[in-house]
Amino acid sequence: MTASAIVFILLGAFAGGFVNGLAGTGTALFALGFLLVVLDPVSAVAVVTLMSVVTGLMGLWEVRAALRVNVARLMRFIIPGLIGVPIGLSLLTYIDAATLKLVIAALLILYGGFFSLRANLPRFQRRTPVLDAGVGLSGGLLGGMAGLSGALPVIWCSLRPWPKAETRAVLQPFNVAILGLTATLLWTRGAYDSTTVTAFFIALPASLLSARLGLLAFRRVSDTLFRRLLIGLSLLLGLGLLADALWS
């Protein structure tokens, strides 16, 4: 592997690891652009997926106490999400992934742009077990169809006035579970060849280091600022998806 390829992999690992450490999601948004310069799409996605899972485990340890606060709520997201991944994969034959990305991008841009400019944040406080499960299922479906498992959960969690640790205690394990299943499915399809594994081990140290830095930043932000970060992440994710759909 060339020196320039290693540099791009390290840049992607550092960017993706930091945002995962800070927000508990968003690795692909910040890492894929760098990795796609030097890797084919399947290898790049395989590396980012596995990188997200490994750095996500660090984030789970950070919010281990919050994970025990509401286990039932967390399961309402994860179980439907895991069910949705293989269903989403099976729907790829019937759904145009590019069009789906444009629709989700528009939703993310509208939501993220609108609330980024507002002084008051949205506050959706009542219990919504059915909607929680629906968001989890939708995240799994979108993950299987287009690799967008985190898009709707980020929007949904930023609507809720939960403490930042509780918010992360939903997003982080959801992403680890969904992406863990995705990585397993990619492995069964032969995505982790020698090139992909080499790229992953090059990325791993930088990813772990930057995720640690992101976690340090996470500890310093307030609950309100953390919600604003998620809203801003929604906007960036939408813009990234829009650019990807228009240029591909």
Token pair of 158 as six digits: 């930023």
**pLDDT per position in the chain (248 positions), as tens?**
789 899 999 999 999 999 999 988 888 878 888 898 899 888 888 899 999 999 999 999 989 889 888 899 999 999 999 999 999 888 877 877 778 788 888 988 998 888 887 777 777 778 889 999 999 999 999 888 767 788 899 989 988 888 999 999 999 999 999 989 988 988 998 889 999 999 999 999 999 999 999 999 999 999 989 999 999 989 988 898 888 777 76
- Look at the block and give the residue holding tokens 């281990």: 64
The angle formed by the CA atoms of residues 75, 78 and 79, to the nearest 5 degrees, is: 80
Q: What's the distance, CA 179 to chain centroid?
A: 8
Q: How many CB atoms lie under 10 A from the CB of residue 117?
A: 8
Each as own residue / partner, the long-range contacts of residues 186-193 (CB below 8 Å, 24 or more positions apart, any chain) are 186/42, 186/45, 186/46, 186/49, 191/42, 191/43, 191/45, 191/46, 192/46, 192/50, 193/43
One-letter amino acid at 72 equals: A
Give 148's contacts (C-beta < 8 A, 6+ positions apart).
100, 101, 104, 139, 142, 241
Domain map (residue ranges) of the chain:
3-247
pTM of the model: 0.86
